[in-house]
DNA sequence: TTTAAGCTTGAATGTCTATTCAGATGAACA
DNA sequence: TGTTCATCTGAATAGACATTCAAGCTTAAA
């Protein structure tokens, strides 16, 4: 998770002819691919999403929530973190819509936002077993 | 992407009885879930993987490689980064087996390691469009 | 209405990460 | 063999992130 595009490097201005700073082996292909790749905005959005899952503690929280809806103090106990730390992480997951929450009395219960998240989690877990 | 488990917090030692530092609303459920969640090792492995996709520049590289096999200088041109920066990022992706490479003369061509990566990429891209 | 439990929050600190820069490697070509 | 091109690498700097600590809400029970 980082900023992005405080970059405007010195790369061939993609303007004309086979000019280039440090080559460009396949100019045509570069142009074509350049027009097809993901936009910076979308890439940032995706990076945020992947970033949310790029932390062992958050993955443990998610793997717990795959099993059951749990309140903060229980989650803290399950993953052995302080409640404050868990709360910070849950806020992040909440902001990115990976989890949702509801209040019941003094407790706040968290659960996965939707089935996609669980599926994605499982897919990667299985992918890594294959390799 | 971070270290993990230089943590051993002060949470109920999960050992015995209904003891607990700061409550524990559902002791039984906590025990059960605790036995079912992902291991720390696996969580770290998954975090590394997600971490590899948690950067806009790397996502652009991957989205380019979804379209075509490309050499380093072309990739640099496509995503408008220095070749050095691209090389650093590709090394990371290579180490985590997201991409593979082959040398041809003085050029090194990169491509996606397998179909899983492309699928995962597309899934998340689409998921984010839904919301 | 006091007190406390459950959760959230902001600031501060330590750690990790990405880029840049300079230099090194390996392959091709003169 | 010497030179150039394409890529890689290590060190250093700057920026991002996670946890802790202390304090602030909100709800329920005394």
- Asked if A7 is an interface residue toward chain B (Cβ–Cβ < 8 A), one would say yes
Architecture of domain B52-130: Orthogonal Bundle (1.10)
Joined tokens for residue B86: 């691209």
Q: What is the pLDDT of residues B1-48, one digit of tens each?
A: 433 332 222 233 333 222 333 456 688 899 999 999 999 999 999 999
Q: What are the structural domain ranges in chain A?
A: 55-130
Q: What is the pLDDT of residue A23?
A: 55
Residue A124 CA to residue B4 CA, distance in Å, equals 19
**C-alpha distance from B128 to closest chain A C-alpha (Å):** 7
Nearest chain A residue to B24 by CA distance is A74
Joined tokens for residue B19: 């003891």
- Asked if A122 is an interface residue toward chain B (Cβ–Cβ < 8 A), one would say no
Average per-residue pLDDT for chain B: 85
Fold (topology level) of A55-130: Arc Repressor Mutant, subunit A (1.10.10)
Contacting residues for B97 by C-beta, under 8 A, at least 6 apart: A131, B113
Q: Per-residue pLDDT tens, chain A, 131 aa: give them.
A: 433 332 222 233 333 222 233 456 688 899 999 999 999 999 999 999 999 999 999 999 999 999 999 999 999 999 999 999 999 999 999 999 999 999 999 999 999 999 999 999 999 999 999 86
Task: Evaluate if residue B109 carries a pLDDT over 80.
Answer: yes
Q: Could you check: is the Cβ of residue A47 within 7 Å of any atom of nucleic acid strand C?
A: no
pTM of the predicted structure, to 2 decimals: 0.85
């Amino acid at each position: 998770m980082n900023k992005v595009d405080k970059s405007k490097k010195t790369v061939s201005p993609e303007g004309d002819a086979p000019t280039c700073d440090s080559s460009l082996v396949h100019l045509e292909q570069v142009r074509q691919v350049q027009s097809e790749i993901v936009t910076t905005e979308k890439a940032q959005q995706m990076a945020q999403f992947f970033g949310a899952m790029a932390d062992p503690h958050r993955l443990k929280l998610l793997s717990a929530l795959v099993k059951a809806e749990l309140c903060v103090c229980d989650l803290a106990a399950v993953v052995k973190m302080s409640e404050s730390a868990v709360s910070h992480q849950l806020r992040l997951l909440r902001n990115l819509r990976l989890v949702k929450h509801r209040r019941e009395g003094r407790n706040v219960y968290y659960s996965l936002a939707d089935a996609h998240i669980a599926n994605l989690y499982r897919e990667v877990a299985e992918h890594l077993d294959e390799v």
